[in-house]
Structures are given as C-alpha cells and as structure tokens.
Amino acid sequence: MQVRFEDVTMRFQDNTVLDKINFTLPSKQLVSFLGPSGCGKSTTLYLISGLLEASGGKIFFDDRDVTKLDPVKRQVGLVFQNYALYPHLTVLENIMFPLKMAKMPKKERRERAEEMARLTRITDQLNKYPRQLSGGQQQRVAISRALSKSPDTLLMDEPLSNLDARLRIEMREEIRRIQQETEVTTVFVTHDQEEALSIADRVMVLDKGEIQQISDPVTLYQRPNNLFVAKFIGTPIINTFQRSSVALNPEAEIFNQEWELIGIRSEQFRLADESDYLIKAQVQRIENVGKETTIHCVAGEEHFVATDIEANISENDTIYLKVKGDLLLFDQDNNIIESSGDNES
C-alpha cells in the first residue's frame, strides 16, 4: 500500500517540527527515514501510524484519506527500539496478543502465530518469556507480533539501536529478508546512514523537519542534492574544498566553471603528475586498519583523507592527486550544481 503526505505540518505548541512536507512511499518497498536526532523522523512515523494527529495537511493510504482515522483502524504494525513485549506473556502469547484482541478464534490464532514465528525464525523459542531471550530474538518476536495481523504497513522506529554491532548487521539482513518475503510496505527509521543505505529500496533524508532528498541508496551517495546530504552519507565523510583552497591547483580546468565548493569522496583520489594535477598536499599520516589504508593529507591548514590509493607513499611525502569519477560542485547555498565528467586522463 502506498503512503502519501500532502502538505503535512506538525506543531508541538509553538514548535513547528514538520512544515508542509510532501512525499510518497511506494507500495511494497522498504523506505528508510534517515537524519540526525530531532529532525522529525519519529514524528513522521507516528503521523503515519495515527499515534500523532497532524496539525495541517492530509495523509493518504492509497486513495483513502486517513488523516483523521483512528490508529487501530489504520492497519499498521509497529516495532519499537525497546521491543515493547509483554514480560508476563510467553513468546507465543505475545505474538497471539493482537489476534486475541481482534477476537480471532484460538486455533487460527495459534496457527497464525506459528506461521509468523517460522517467518522470523524463532519457532524454538515459543514457550520462553521475553527476559530469557537475547535482544535480537526479542526483536524477532516484536516483528512477528507486528506482522501477525497482516498490516498494510510496517513501521519500525530505530529497531536495531539496542543491539550490538554484529547483531545489528545480522538483524538488518533479516528485516530485509522478511520485508521481501512479505512485501509489506515498510518504514525503517534510523540515524545510521550505513544501516539506511544497506537495508532500504529508498531513503528519505530529513534535516530540521525538511526533506532533503528521497532517492535510492546509490543515487544518494553519488548524486546528493546538497552539501548536507553529501556529508551525511558515506564514511569517511566527504572531503570538501572551497574555491580558495590552497590544496587546489589554480591552473586546473575546474576553475573555468562557477562553483563555491567541491566535494570529493576519499576513494576517488588517484595519484597524478606534477604537471597535471588537481590537488597538491603533504602526507601527514598513513593509517592501516585491517585491509583499509587511509592516507591523511594536509595542505596549509586543511585536512582531507584518501583511501584506495595503491602506491608507495610515505609520511611527509608531497603528493599530487587527480580525481576519478564525478566531482560534486556546490553553489553558495550549498546546493549541487552539476558534476563534471570523468577526470581521469
């Protein structure tokens, strides 16, 4: 089912958290809401669920206006960061609970709960209590419970934030698998860009209550709409150079164009000749972590990092660099202008 916001505004007293936002979440896709703390991700999610009522605008599920519809009638499943399981009920009872509330007959209830447990792979835990389960297992139960009533939309608010790093990766693969098997339209809220990019069909980036971009993960990385998105997406953070940067070769062709700032991802640098280069810098430090080598460079007061350069480089060397792929050019308002072509000669 498609979810659509039309000029939706949300105010808490004098604080306008969302100001006339518009977006469409395509049916059967997994969309991630991504942004820094306080940008309005959870508020947007709760507006979809009906737990919050919009101060203005309209919300549609397909063609149906649900702006004023009671949350219980919206057919959404909710999954929270803290799992929110009932501690005094077993796993099976937890999953069956919404079905009991819906007055489904006992036998069907049980069959449906077992089906959900198979989907989320917790059939061997059905008689345990939540406290006897790991965080990952508890989240599987919460997902089973949220899906038990076959919701049209599954809404997940930072579902992996309480898990350790390894389990987070395992569980995000699981959520992806479950979403693809069920094809339920899913919203996944996170402030972790890597998590959003790895799990989602599309990512909606928010900042200060405004939508910065809605794209597939590859476009978001390669063609950010503005400097905020460019910096929020990608590790290490994108390198930026002002037009006046001492690192830049004043003879470089790029100066024939209008721009205020350029963005270069660390993996785009290649070694160049002294006679034809874009950037000149000193190697300050070479950092090796596992198979990753990061070269920390300085030019005057400026610092930037290069990865993926396979060459014999030592600390304190002067290096000349060119760029492979698109340079991202930004105007004085930090919006993207255009990308130049492949710079590698």
Q: Compare residues 41 and 270 and give the one whose CB is closer to ligand ATP.
A: 41
CB of 24 to ligand ATP, least distance (A): 20
Q: Compare residues 192 and 267 and give the one whose CB is closer to ligand ATP.
A: 192
Q: How far apart are CA 22 and CA 64, in angstroms?
A: 16
Q: Compare residues 195 and 326 and give the one whose CB is closer to ligand ATP.
A: 195
* Dihedral, 22, 26, 76, 120 alpha carbons, nearest 10: -140
Tell me whether the omega of the peptide bond preceding residue 236 falls within 30 degrees of 0, making it cis.
Answer: yes
Q: Which residues contact 67 (CB under 8 A, 6 or more apart)?
A: 53, 54, 57, 58, 59
The yes or no reply on residue 42 touching ligand ATP (CB under 6 A) is: yes
Which of these segments, 11-19, 212-220, 263-271, 283-291, binds ligand ATP (CB under 6 A)?
11-19
Specify which residues 111 forms β-bridges with. Answer: none
The yes or no reply on residue 56 touching ligand ATP (CB under 6 A) is: no
Q: Compare residues 8 and 17 and give the one whose CB is closer to ligand ATP.
A: 17
Could you count the other beta carbons within 10 Å of the beta carbon of residue 20? Answer: 14
* Dihedral, 156, 158, 162, 163 alpha carbons, nearest 10: 80
The yes or no reply on residue 156 touching ligand ATP (CB under 6 A) is: no
Q: How far apart are CA 71 and CA 46, in angstroms?
A: 10
Q: How far apart are CA 208 and CA 39, in angstroms?
A: 4
Among residue numbers 21 through 40, which ones bind ligand ATP (CB under 6 A)?
A: 35, 37-40
The yes or no reply on residue 43 touching ligand ATP (CB under 6 A) is: yes
Q: Which residues contact 323 (CB under 8 A, 6 or more apart)?
A: 264, 268, 269, 270, 278, 279, 343, 344
Binders of ligand ATP: how many residues, by CB under 6 A?
A: 12
Which of these segments, 12-20, 123-131, 194-202, 240-248, binds ligand ATP (CB under 6 A)?
12-20
Nearest alpha-carbon partner for 147 in 175, 124, 128, 126:
175
Taking CB under 6 A as the rule, which mask of x and - marks residues 170-199 in contact with ligand ATP? ---------------------x--------
Q: Compare residues 146 and 206 and give the one whose CB is closer to ligand ATP.
A: 206
Which of these segments, 9-17, 116-124, 284-292, 308-316, binds ligand ATP (CB under 6 A)?
9-17
Q: Compare residues 191 and 296 and give the one whose CB is closer to ligand ATP.
A: 191
Q: Which of 3, 8, 17, 329 binds ligand ATP (CB under 6 A)?
A: 17
The yes or no reply on residue 12 touching ligand ATP (CB under 6 A) is: yes
H runs (alpha helix) in 121-205: 135-147, 165-182, 193-199
Among residue numbers 305 through 334, which ones bind ligand ATP (CB under 6 A)?
A: none
H runs (alpha helix) in the chain: 41-49, 91-101, 106-120, 135-147, 165-182, 193-199, 217-222, 227-232
Looking at this protein, which amino acid is placed at residue 64? R
The yes or no reply on residue 41 touching ligand ATP (CB under 6 A) is: yes
Q: Compare residues 78 and 262 and give the one whose CB is closer to ligand ATP.
A: 78
Among residue numbers 242 through 281, which ones bind ligand ATP (CB under 6 A)?
A: none
Q: How far apart are CA 102 and CA 84, in angstroms?
A: 19
Residues lying near ligand ATP in the complex (CB under 6 A) are found at 12, 15, 17, 35, 37-43, 191
